[in-house]
Amino acid sequence: MTDAAPITPGYDAGGVTAFYEMNGSTYRNPHEDEVRSTLRLAVEQWHLALDDVLDLACGSGEATLELRDLGASEVTGIDPYTQAAYFDRTGSTAESLTFADVGDGALEGRSYSLVVCSYALHLCELSRLAAVCIALVRVAPALLILSPHKRPVIKQGWGWAPPEEFVHRRVHARLHRSLL
Ligand SMILES: C[S@@+](CC[C@H](N)C(=O)[O-])C[C@H]1O[C@@H](n2cnc3c(N)ncnc32)[C@H](O)[C@@H]1O
């Protein structure tokens, strides 16, 4: 299977941060339908607990809206660039935290039933990925990554078991369970 087409050619010009600083308020994922149906399958197949979900790098609420439709009691969105877009669609305010903030301990002391990171964790700088993964395993028993490809690879030693995975409509779903 080939990777899905890049969703934002603008990344090439000024980089990821510049792209979302300029376009975050109007961000929409053109693959939202595929993301939502894959998320639905993942929740059903893996019996994921939706009591209190963290939607990390939540965009305009693509995952949040599906999680709500699936009966999630509480969904917290985090994203440094898309607050306006997230509020427009979900009526909730996303917290303005970057991957760097998460890696530096911004979530310390919290507890979630699940972290979902859709089409975003591969945007985390590789030098920060270990710290982000270790921070996430301290706050949740399960991490669901949705991605148009196989990245990022979550390495042994970062607190997460190797993934259970499937591909649906070209979206890769990978579930990592906590080893803590
Ligand atoms: C391709 S979008 C995915 C959004 C949404 N989760 C989805 O499924 O469509 C990538 C998201 O990562 C966020 N992002 C980019 N750089 C980030 C960073 N350094 N820290 C946290 N989030 C970041 C962007 O604001 C954007 O919402």
Backbone torsion region of residue 111, taken as left when φ is above 0, otherwise alpha when ψ lies between -120 and 50, otherwise beta: beta
**Domains of the chain, earliest start first:** 32-177 (3.40.50.150)
Q: What is the pLDDT along the chain (180 residues), one digit of tens a residue?
A: 333 444 444 676 689 999 999 999 999 999 999 999 999 999 999 999 999 999 999 999 999 999 999 999 999 999 999 999 999 999 999 999 999 999 999 999 999 999 999 999 999 999 999 999 999 999 999 999 999 999 999 999 999 999 999 999 999 999 999 999
Q: What is the whole-number distance in angstroms between the Cα of residue 98 and the centre of ligand 1?
A: 9
For the whole model, what pTM was predicted?
0.95
β-sheet bridge partners, residue 160: 178
User: Which residues does ligand 1 sit against, CB inside 6 Å?
Assistant: 7, 16, 20, 24, 27, 29, 35, 57-59, 62-63, 79-82, 98-99, 118-120, 123
CA atoms of 94 and 55, how far apart (whole Å): 9
